Structure 1
Amino acid sequence: MNIYTRAVGFSDLTSEKEEEFIKLGIEESLKEGFVVRHEKLDRGVIILRLSESTGLYIFGRYDGDNFKYEYYYPFVVGTRVTDNEELTVERHLDKESYAVICDELKTGVTLIFYLQNVMDYFDYLFSGKEFKLEKFNPDVRNAISKQAIRNKKVALTALSLGGLILLPTAKKKKIKRSAKEEESRKNLIQAAKKGDENAIESLTIEDMDKYNELSQRITKEDIFTIIDSTFMPCGVECDQYSVVGEILELKTEENIYTGEKMYIMLLDCNGLVITTVINAKHLMGEPEIGRRFKGQIWLQGNVKF
Structure 2
Amino acid sequence: MNKYMSAAGLAGLDQNDYEDLYRIVEKDPDLYIEASYIEGKEYDERLIELTKYIAPNIGITLRGFLDRDDQFIRQLAFPVIKINEPVSKKYKRISPLKNEPAALTRSDFPTLGCSLYSYVQNLYEVSDGEELSSLTNATWKGIGISALSSAGMILLPMGKSENKELRAIEGKRNRLKKELFNGNDDAYEQLTLTEMQIYTTIDKRVKKNGIYGVISTTLMPRGVEEDMYYCIGQIEEISSSKIPLTEQIVYHFLLSCCGIRFCVSINKDTLIGEPEVGRRFKGIVWMQSRIFA
* TM more than 0.5: yes
Secondary structure of 2:225's aligned partner: coil
**Contact map agreement 1:5 1:11 (CA 8 A) in 2:** yes
SS at match of 1:218: helix
The one-character-per-residue Cα deviations of 1:83-132 (angstroms, maximum 9, x if unpaired) are 24312212111111111122124444311111111122124x86xxxxxx
What is the identity, as a one-letter code, of the residue corresponding to 1:146?
A: T
The share of aligned pairs that are identical, in percent, is 28
Partner of 1:268: 256
Between 1:222-231 and 1:52-61, the stretch displaced more is: 222-231
* Structure 2 residue aligned with 1:241: 229
| Alignment pair present for 1:186 and 2:175 | no
- Give the structure 2 partner of residue 251 of structure 1: 239
Contact 1:108–1:190, Cα closer than 8 Å, also in 2: no
Q: Which stretch of the first structure deviates more once superposed, 16-25 or 264-273?
A: 16-25
Change (3 A) 1:211 1:153: same
Q: Distance in 2 between matches of 1:210 and 1:182?
A: 12
1:121-175: CA deviation from partner (whole Å, max 9, x where unpaired): 124x86xxxxxxxxxxxxxx3442111416x322111000101101111214869
Q: Match of 1:90?
A: 95
Q: 3-state DSSP class of the match of 1:19?
A: helix
Give the aligned partner of residue 63 of structure 1: 67
Runs of 4 or more, structure 1, over 4 Å off, are: 173-177, 181-185
Contact 1:83 1:105 in 2 (8 A): no
Among 154, 165, 174, which residue is 1:165 paired with? 154
What's the offset of the Cα at 1:14? 1.6
Q: Which amino acid aligns with 1:35?
A: Y
Q: Tell me which moved more, 6-15 or 98-107.
A: 98-107
Q: Secondary structure at the match of 1:289?
A: coil
The residue type equivalent to 2:86 in the other structure is V
TM-score (norm 2): 0.86
| Contact 2:127/2:135 (8 A) holds in 1 | no
Q: How far apart in 2 are the matches of 1:79 and 1:247? A: 19
Q: Aligned partners of 1:206 and 1:148: how far apart in 2?
A: 35
Quick check: 2:144–2:289 contact (8 Å CA) kept in 1? yes
Pairing 1:146–2:136 present:
yes
Contact 2:177 2:191 in 1 (8 A): no
Structure 1's unaligned 5+ residue stretches are 127-140
Call closer, same or farther: CA 1:256–1:284 in 2, change over 3 Å: same
Report the equivalent of 1:120.
125
Instruction: Map Cα deviations across residues 240-299 of structure 1 (whole Å, 9 max, x no partner).
Output: 101110001110111121110000111111112121100000000111111100110001
Alignment-derived partner of residue 32 in structure 2: 35
Please give the alpha-carbon distance, in whole angstroms, between the structure 2 residues aligned to 1:39 and 1:143.
Answer: 16
Does 1:19 pair with 2:19? yes
| DSSP-derived class of the 2:92 partner | strand
Point out the more displaced range, 164-173 or 54-63.
164-173
Distance change in 2, residues 1:105/1:226 (3 Å): closer
Partner SS, residue 247 of structure 1? strand
The answer to whether residue 279 in structure 2 is matched with residue 282 in structure 1 is no
Q: Deviations over 1:57-83 (max 9, x none)?
A: 111212243322221110111355322
Is contact 2:10-2:248 (8 Å) kept? yes
**CA 1:11–1:224 in 2, change beyond 3 Å: closer, same or farther?**
same
Letter in 2 for 1:19: E
SS in structure 1 at match of 2:76: strand
Q: Is the 8 A contact 1:4 1:161 kept in 2?
A: yes
- Give the unaligned 5+ runs of structure 2: 39-45
Q: Deviations over 1:16-61 (max 9, x none)?
A: 32123212431344xxx85322244511111111101001111121
- CA pair 39-148 structure 1, distance change in 2 beyond 3 A: closer
Go from structure 1 to structure 2 and tell me whether the alpha carbon gap of 1:62 and 1:242 turns closer, same or farther (over 3 Å shift). Answer: same
Amino acid corresponding to residue 27 of structure 2 in structure 1: E
Normalised by the length of structure 1, the TM-score is 0.83
Matched AA of 1:22: Y
Aligned 8 A contact 2:120 2:289 in 1: yes
| Superposition CA RMSD, Å | 2.7
Instruction: Note the alpha carbon deviations across 1:167-221, whole angstroms, 9 max, x for none.
Output: 11121486999xxx977641323437xxx3x332221111111001111222222
Q: Is the 8 A contact 1:78 1:274 kept in 2?
A: no
